[in-house]
Structure 1
Amino acid sequence: MLSSDAPVRSRPSARPALPAGPTDFTEAWLRNRRLSVHTRDAYRRDVAGWLAWCAARDLDPLWANFLHVNEYARTLESTLAVRSGRPLTPATVARRLSALSSWYDFLVKLRAVDANPVAGADRPRIDRDHSATVGLTPDEVDALLAAAEADTGPTAARNRATIALLADLGLRVGELV
């Protein structure tokens, strides 16, 4: 029960607009994350896709709830991938929702939204042990390392280190560079 001298908080009729618009806000969010250039680009596309989906439904993303996010996820699951012509994989849908969740966490920290609507949404189940990425077999990796070891040219040490890092750590070329 409220006492007579307690301040009454009313919910504002509208949330403040995203500072400088969604694109600038997304850029501020990305600058605050330690991400590779490729991951930044992917996350930027992920948020832009959500914002476009919201705009097509005349939905203010600041007022979205987990039901909207669930509907968006179902839309993603039926979206055909440009390269393969097949529906997006569960891992891709999960990554897009993860990026969106991080974006909303940032909005929560800035008090632009009360809660993260992605937190309560359904996410696709993905097998953490499965990857569609085709890599080298262990024998192919061994052959590559052996070839690097046999190299005696002026760049041999650099080449051996490069191959070892790529093979042992599973780095992307861009991460190595």
Structure 2
Amino acid sequence: MLKDRILKVSISQAERKGFRFTMGELAKQLGMSTKTLYGYYPLKVELLNEMINLAIDELKMKEEILHDSALNLLEKLQKCLVLIPTDFQFAQLQYLEELQRYYPKQWETLDQFIHEQWTGIFSLIDEGIAANQIRPFNKEIFIEVYVGGLYRLEHASKNRNMISLQDTMQEMVNILMLGILKENVHEEK
């Protein structure tokens, strides 16, 4: 289907150039006229909305992880926190600031989802606290640290030695879940 192809090439453009690609550049990449492209997406923001909704749909896969009986509680929590869309990866995160600045409504949709999709994770955390696997902590601060860390990865990506986004997310989640102290440090004191 041509609309799917347009979306796939748009995601590729966003990954390479950010969200400020032009419809003319996209049409050229697709080998079609701009008029044909505008027939499918009369406004660029409609295309961006669909791209963001695709990323959000992929992130909703967390629901499947929450019900995976092959995983224990801590594995589920870690997988949910590390999950990023396979095709979109928020345009490599380095363009989030650009999305926020030039497409505020689309940014708001993405940001709202990132902040609100914590219900399942809170259930896992509460279950872990009840089972004495997780110590009680302020979940609101945890969310702010997680989301802030996610958004700051764009700056870190400029200074890191080509570590993948998936590896970066995994390391961030490891630090959030396990801390930085060795397990037996508390026992030594």
TM-score of the two chains, using structure 1 as the length reference? 0.29
- Structure with larger RCO (C-alpha < 8 A, sep 6+): 2
**Structure number with larger C-alpha Rg:** 1
TM-score of the two chains, using structure 2 as the length reference? 0.27
Which has a greater percent of helix? 2
